[in-house]
Amino acid sequence: MPTLSAYTNVENTALVILQEKGFQIWYAREYDLFYAEKNGWDFAANGAVELLGVIAIFEHQNPKSFREYWWKIDDPDLVRNLPAKPNPYKPVWRK
């Protein structure tokens, strides 16, 4: 059992975090999408946890101005080379 998973009972927590970070957030029922905006940078996702993840990419990359594919990191190519199993570890909930 993971310590935390993306699940519906985590959605409100993700939205509160985004609001506390200064984003305006909204849900467009007609598109079934969650949105956030801050300083003109706007983001959309299928769920609140996903939206928080997209904004984490923005915060990590910290772009100063818009350019195409500002978010992209190609190296290393983890999508094609991700291991099937983790290295051994002890979950915090077992400690």
Check residue 29 and give its pLDDT: 97
Q: Closest by alpha carbon to 44, among 72, 66, 18? A: 18
- Cβ(75)–Cβ(60) under 8 Å? no
32: which DSSP letter?
A: T
Check residue 1 and give its pLDDT: 79
Check residue 43 and give its pLDDT: 98
For Cα atoms 84, 4, 56, give the angle at the middle one, nearest 5 degrees: 85
- Which run of H or E residues covers position 45? strand 41-45
Check residue 48 and give its pLDDT: 98
24 backbone dihedrals φ, ψ, rounded to 5°? -85, 135
- Mean pLDDT, the chain cut into blocks of 10 residues (95 residues total): 90 98 98 98 98 98 97 96 94 89
Check residue 95 and give its pLDDT: 86
Check residue 82 and give its pLDDT: 95
